[in-house]
Chains A and B, each alone.
Chain A
């Protein structure tokens, strides 16, 4: 996070309707200068429509979009200091890499010498210099992605929009490009807004994340806030893995159908006695917990899966129909070996239990 907290982009109640369908519903959000921001949500949540409104390909049915305090809602895409990196990259197939990158500067009618210098510098930054004369169909997926990025960045936009920027790359390359994008964003000091459905990508890359569902903003915060303090069951479920135990809200947590109390801090918004979930992250659950641990359960290990750094157990317990996922470090597993079918005691503290309303998502 940068120290500069000035709001660059102010989305003020933006709504987009397509016929009877409301894709984005009264969406408000402020995005800060130099921020790497992620719009995260499942497909159909309205994140792409929102991005297209920021780029100028859709105009909001209601509400405003302000860039540097100026309403740009009705400004066509070719007159916005905003550039979009398309999911398909949308490179011009009949032009070389260098011509693709120069295109946007030619549209600004800059002197040829300046265009050439900026294109050369950008190709240097994105390691494309040697590919300058190639055509897009002679490039690999990762190279095409870099051309698309260079083509947008060379215009020095106030805001760069990225639509699923790593979606078309294989897993290994994706990891490298995540860091590369962060490096470029830091180096060039341009505000990035990325749309993604991949929660891991958002957590790794973004300074702040907005989680969207059905055209609404569910929660906005740093990756740490979103992960550690999800505002709803949906967010807790969508970001990472969470165990949910059903019950009824009590003064000190929930009471399961079997009459077992699970201690956790109940938000005031949930009335006592109304249906609620207790949510616990798998890595917060301990095996054979110390005696002081507030919440304890006995269960049977159904499956055991090795993931390198950690071990994932699925434990059948009486409190939930779905097995409880427990993640323990490989070290802990070595000290305390467990096998499928073993009866184990698991436990977690009150502080690691979050209570969500069952009636809201």
Chain B
């Protein structure tokens, strides 16, 4: 690459900083204001953890947090199992020259709102009662695609003769999966699961459409949305900060897992 002049380099650095500032200052403000003593969203009046305390005493929020956890954990478990099996199946077929790639990626690409409407129509067509279980099913739908994508990325560089070697040495398919395939792709499976968990925790639109009426199936993002209609309170900032903390942690872990398996 040609050597850039100092002026160009300075301009490019400034641009980079500006982009990152645009992305992260709003998030930073939310996090900062969650520690604000006073109740006004724009005036800093001292450091305090009292909004976190008031969160802990809010039964509606605690209930929503529990719902979110249930949805995220259950949908992650199901999606990880199905997504991993799907990835293996698709890779084996792809090597034999038949694939259905586009169909698998669809839930990742289709706008959430479309998926939300489609799932709602589907559930009501089947006369499904809406509730937490329908949110879980809906989250499984798009999470399968993400888990599958992460695991497939690993399988692309997978030496399938290792699986054949296991069979050659006398192992059944099940033993081969348990002792060879799964240990080798485990980091990708865990990375996919953490990604699915993150996506599920802060998913709003699809959950909103498939939750049905009533408090019983309100998730955290839905709870925040209903609270925000009465204005941004420091309590919401505190809640948002917690959600960010969970998401960032899961995402960082996921990336870390994925890096350990780089072949």
Contacts and interface: CB of A to CB of B under 8 A. Distances in A.
Interface string A165-197: 000000000000000000000000000000000
B43 to A, nearest CB: 57
Interface string A139-152: 00000000000011
Interface string B26-52: 000000000000000000000000000
A90 B175 contact: no
A91 B159 CA distance: 10
A56 to B, nearest CB: 8
Interface stretch (A81-89, A213-221, A261-269): A81-89
Contacts of B172: 78
Interface string A58-95: 00000000000000000011110001101110111110
B168 A107 contact: no
A88 B160 CA distance: 10
B177 to A, nearest CB: 13
B168 A83 contact: yes
B85 interface: no
B171 interface: yes
A84 B166 contact: no
A108 B161 contact: no
Interface string A263-278: 0000000000000000
Given A86-B164, A90-B165, A92-B162, A78 B171 contact: yes
A212 interface: no
B184 interface: yes
B243 interface: no
Given A93-B184, A94-B183, A107-B175, A77 B162 contact: no
A359 B6 CA distance: 73
Contacts of A88: 159, 161
Given A88-B161, A90-B159, A93-B184, A55 B168 contact: yes
B180 interface: yes
A56 B184 CA distance: 24
Interface residues of A, number: 24
B169 interface: yes
A21 to B, nearest CB: 13
A90 B167 contact: no
B161 A155 contact: no
A234 interface: no
Contacts of A103: 166, 169, 171, 179
A92 B180 contact: yes
Contacts, number: 59
Interface in B160-196: 161-162, 164-172, 175, 179-180, 183-184
Nearest to B162: A90
Nearest to B172: A78
A104 interface: yes
Contacts of B183: 94
B159 A155 contact: no
B205 to A, nearest CB: 40
Nearest to B263: A93
Nearest to B165: A90
Nearest to B163: A90
Contacts of A83: 168-169
B170 A84 contact: no
A20 to B, nearest CB: 14
A55 B168 CA distance: 7
B170 A104 contact: yes
B168 A84 contact: yes
Interface of A: 55-57, 76-79, 83-84, 86-88, 90-94, 103-104, 107-108, 151-152, 155
10 contacts: A56-B168, A78-B168, A78-B172, A84-B164, A84-B165, A103-B169, A103-B171, A104-B170, A107-B171, A108-B170
